[in-house]
Amino acid sequence: MRIGYALAAASVLSLSACAGQLTEKRAEPVTVKIVAFNDFHGNLEPPKRSIEAPGATSGAKVQVPAGGAAYFAAAIAELRSRNPNHAVVAAGDLIGASPLVSALFLDEPTIAALNMMKVDFNALGNHEFDKGSAEILRIQNGGCAKNTVRQPCRLEPFAGAKFRLLSANTRTAGGGTLVQPYGIKSFGRAKVGFIGLTLREAPSLVTPAGVAGLSFGDEADAANALIPKLKREGADAIVILIHQGGATKVGFNDKSCAGLSGEILPILDRLDPAVDVVVSGHTHNAYVCDYGRINPARPFLLTSAGVAGTLITDLDLVIDPAAHRVVSKRADNIIVQGEAFTGAKGAIPLTDLYPRFAAEPAVAALVARYAAAAAPVAAERVGRLSAPALRTTTEWGEQVLGNLIADAQLAATRAPEAGGAEIAFMNMGGVRADLVPAADGTITYGQVFTVQPFGNTLMVKSFTGRQIRAILEQQFDSGSNSLESPNFLNPSSTLHYAYDLKRPAGQRILDVRVNGTSLDDERVYRVAMSNFLASGGDNFTAFRDGTDVVGGISDVDALVAYLGKQAVLTPPATDRITRR
């Protein structure tokens, strides 16, 4: 009996040892594909943008036409087809500041298109807040509740986003997050956690009504606090989706990180080293950067796919499920080449140097349906221009189109009953497209709307000359407005000034003249601006100090009226600002 027991025991031990060996056999690595993008801004139709890319010979460059939701959908589908383990994610501003075909319908067609592309997660950007938190929740959950001046569900019922909106650092007055802070997606034995982050400066970029009752916490703190929780829930890899970004001095797919700069850097340097990838946005720049080149303690990949669906980022993570870590990663930005176009700089043809994508039929049909509904409004002629009015910024800080808009806003508010404005200012960030006339000079309503898609209204306030000088100083010294990254205001033709960046802060603005007369620090002037600027947007907090407010018409209506006042309008010169 004892011998039999011993043999049986030995057999059990032997089987246990074998089982242990089987258990200890390492699981095979799992490769997960992440398709990432940012700042789509409702660009359902091809946006007439190109990507400068390496040409056929050394040193040569070629402009590649890019963008359009149907081509973008095809690019996503092609990337998804390469690996059944995939996620499609975005870093904010998918809606807001959109062209007419989307904005006229409260961006519902853009959400429908993104649903068709099978997006999984999107971090809230600042433009998702343009119409307030109630509208964000409608975008997520669907329905036809009216939260804005525009009518929802004009063409069809709205189902809402099938993907999750994320923001770990956007909190309501009750202390909870407005939307889900993170999401986890499983790929067999591997799990990837995605944390969404909205840029902390969102309140300075959105009208106050858009962020009423909300607070925006530190991005790195919010992410770091969640990482232990995600790890406990089994996440083997951590991906940050953040609507903040930077810029490099190299091409859209150069991996060198050369010249990397921007507001995102201090955030990156404080992130938990457990982070594997940071998908960024906001700056509309494109880059793929191994951040370990800059900070070896944080060797994550940093990516951004530009703007308007012109690029898409193809990421691969190789995950060791047994070790719960990423063992390798790679990324490339891919141009979404769809169709040729002719723009302000001439014809941009297709090229065989880069892949072309055929339009995805279902998304193309959706876009065509909404474009047809918007066409009668978009095609209305509102005026004529003798030449293109571009938003290209001069080296001293002016835009032809920005100046034109400032003049239009002044004209709309100059009458005593409209506010009695003497000066108008237009922020450069609010100028979203060029005004390029047709051969006969025609400018359409659709073009004007694309230039100013935010639905802002005009306001007139009283400021002393000293306060106007303080506003101009904030171009170089307020929040992210700095000497390294100035944020110029386009002035109306009634205001001229000089600046000298070698002078100390607060003393950089010189020789300010209003209608040819030197600015009087004690005199009160009436100043027109958008409600966005009036509430301190773009870090111009000094605009909040104005008094005796008079509301006005919409910025679009002001520009339409100005364009229609003359048979043919000549764009203004850029002679209002002098750099010394």
Q: Cα dist. 58→130, 197, 257 in Å?
A: 44, 40, 21
Using 50 as the pLDDT threshold, list the residues of the chain that sit under it: 1-24
* Residue spans in the chain of domains classed CATH 3.60.21.10: 30-370
Residue in 528, 451, 446 with CA at minimum distance from that of residue 104? 446
Give one DSSP letter per residue of 44-65, joined into a string: -S---EEEEEE-SSTT-EEEEE
Cβ 405 vs Cβ 431: under 8 Å: yes
Q: How much is the pLDDT for 16?
A: 45
Residue in 186, 188, 183, 184 with CA at minimum distance from that of residue 29? 188
Chain CA centroid to CA 338, Å: 21
DSSP 8-state code for residue 26: P
Give the bridge partners for 32, in sequence order.
Answer: 317
Exposure string over 280-302, b if 16+ CB within 10 A, otherwise e:
bbbbbbbbbbbbeeeeeebebbb
Domain 30-370 part of CATH 1.10.10.10: no
User: Nearest 5°: phi and psi at 209?
Assistant: -60, -25
Q: Cα dist. 285→172, 303, 347, 578 in Å?
A: 31, 10, 23, 28
Residue in 423, 572, 425, 562 with CA at minimum distance from that of residue 494? 423
Exposure string over 42-58, b if 16+ CB within 10 A, otherwise e:
bbbbbbbbbbebbeeee
β-pairing, 301-305 vs 277-279, is parallel
Q: How much is the pLDDT for 150?
A: 85
Using CA atoms in the order 332, 110, 216, 262, what is the torsion angle rounded to 10 degrees? 30
Helix (H), strand (E) at residue 6: helix 2-24
Per-residue 3-state assignment (H helix, E strand, C coil) for 274-326:
CCCEEECCCCCCEEEEEHHHCCCCCCCEEEEECCCCCEEEEEEEEEECCCCEE
Query: What is the C-alpha to C-alpha distance for residues 139 and 124, in angstroms, rounded to an integer?
Result: 11
Q: Centre a 10 Å sphere on the Cβ of residue 556 and count the other Cβ atoms it contains.
A: 21
Considering the entire predicted model, what is its pTM? 0.83
Architecture of domain 381-579: Alpha-Beta Complex (3.90)
Residue in 367, 453, 432, 556 with CA at minimum distance from that of residue 98? 453
* Residue spans in the chain of domains classed CATH 3.90.780.10: 381-579
Residue in 426, 507, 447, 514 with CA at minimum distance from that of residue 473? 507
3-state helix, strand, coil in the chain (%, to 5): 30, 30, 45
Cβ 554 vs Cβ 457: under 8 Å: yes
β-pairing, 214-216 vs 237-243, is unpaired
